[in-house]
Structure 1
Amino acid sequence: MERTTTTAADFLDRALLEEAAKKSGLLWVQPAGQPQARALWHAWHDGAVVVVGDGAEQPLHGLTAGSTAAVTVRSKDKWGRLTGWTARVEELPAGGEAWQGAVEELKGKRLNAPDTDTIGERWARECRVLRLVPAGPLTEQPGAMPDGSLAEAPMPTPATTREPIPAGLPRLLFKKRR
């Protein structure tokens, strides 16, 4: 019988991963074979990140059951990269016990839902609930971060920066009231 040993470093890595995922409201997920990571809102439940998407929710392009994805979590305080890992993607069947638990966690994280009373029913009909299970050691952590910014170039857009404010506007806004 083969026995795996857990070191103190493994325990600390797992604690960092879990705490970062619990505290951050947003993470970046790059499905294997995709050129770009996508920001997803999520919840931490039962040892994994859970996300809901497709339908009227966030798009989950490229995330399929059995595939892998690179997950990056930012620091809630500094907003910079804090940790990253490779995740194994699992799809939860709608209505199952694991699905119910994940949906309960996700309901609390969903902001401005148009149908808070029946959101679980809508998710069962239209959406997929995925678990991103950590698989392997951390790929990024404090003291072992990649070089460079890793920032993506902004998408081309016809939008422009607004014009300078009129010179008299600050006087109107900040004049003392009498």
Structure 2
Amino acid sequence: MDGTTATAGDFLDRALLEEAVKKSGLLWVRAEGSAECRPVWHTWYDGAVVLVGDGGEQPLHGLTTGAGAEVTVRSKDKGGRLVSFPVRVVAVEPGSEAWQGAVDELKGKRLNAPDTDTITERWARECRVLRLEPRGQLTARPGAMPQDSHAAAPLPSAVITRRPIPAGLPKLLLGRRKSRG
């Protein structure tokens, strides 16, 4: 992908990578040296994955300029792993032409922003905009998937969804059904 001699397979892999990233609303990123994959929202701009984080936006744990990372894209249809590829992390400087183009694309993908009118100023002040530039060959693609599941335990969080149901809830729900019938 970043080599000097490209084959037809390289062009097909690049087309698959770009199309998968453009269609997916969420990517999984594992920073170099980390065991944790983190979900991030993103956009595709100028040949790279672009994302904004930290400072009130999504956390960008372990993604540092010049380091590497691995990106995994899921299939929009089935939700399973479609393609994985190595990237180089590059910071985009606020105010630069590349930054403005990336931020214009990211603004359209940012849902429920509390400050839609001044979001770019906040991002310049508080956040980091990163480019994840593909490098090397795909590490997983249809027909060449790793055999391990890549399943991981959920990350620790104070937010939980499972709690015991209140003792009176079944009676309350069943009582309503009987009175309606």
TM more than 0.5: yes
Cα gap change, 1:174 to 1:101, in 2 (>3 Å): farther
Q: Which consecutive residues of structure 2, in runs of 5 or more, have no partner in the other structure?
A: none
2:173 to 163, 169, 174: 169
- Structure 2 Cα separation of the partners of residues 171 and 77 of structure 1: 41
- Structure 2 Cα separation of the partners of residues 5 and 59 of structure 1: 37
- Structure 1 Cα separation of the partners of residues 15 and 178 of structure 2: 49
Greater helix share, structure number = 2
Partner letter of residue 36 of structure 1?
E
1:147 aligns with 2:147: yes
Which residue in 2 is equivalent to 1:106? 106
Partner letter of residue 149 of structure 2?
S
Cα gap change, 1:174 to 1:6, in 2 (>3 Å): farther
Count of residue pairs the alignment pairs up: 175
- Structure 1 Cα separation of the partners of residues 132 and 126 of structure 2: 20
For the residue of structure 2 that corresponds to 1:139, the secondary structure is coil
Runs (4+) off by over 3 Å? 155-162, 170-177
Cα gap change, 1:149 to 1:173, in 2 (>3 Å): farther
CA drift at 1:30 = 0.6
TM-score (norm 2): 0.88
- Structure 2 Cα separation of the partners of residues 50 and 175 of structure 1: 56
Q: Counterparts of 1:122-137 in structure 2 under 5 Å?
A: 122-137=122-137
Which residue in 2 is equivalent to 1:47? 47
Partner letter of residue 26 of structure 2?
L
TM-score (norm 1): 0.89
Which residue in 2 is equivalent to 1:74? 74
- Structure 2 Cα separation of the partners of residues 104 and 33 of structure 1: 31
RMSD: 2.2
For the residue of structure 1 that corresponds to 2:137, the secondary structure is strand
- Structure 1 Cα separation of the partners of residues 116 and 88 of structure 2: 30
Structure 1 window deviating more from structure 2 (146-155 vs 100-109): it is 146-155
Greater strand share, structure number = 1
CA drift at 1:172 = 3.9
What percentage of residue pairs aligned between the two structures are identical?
64
Which residue in 1 is equivalent to 2:117? 117
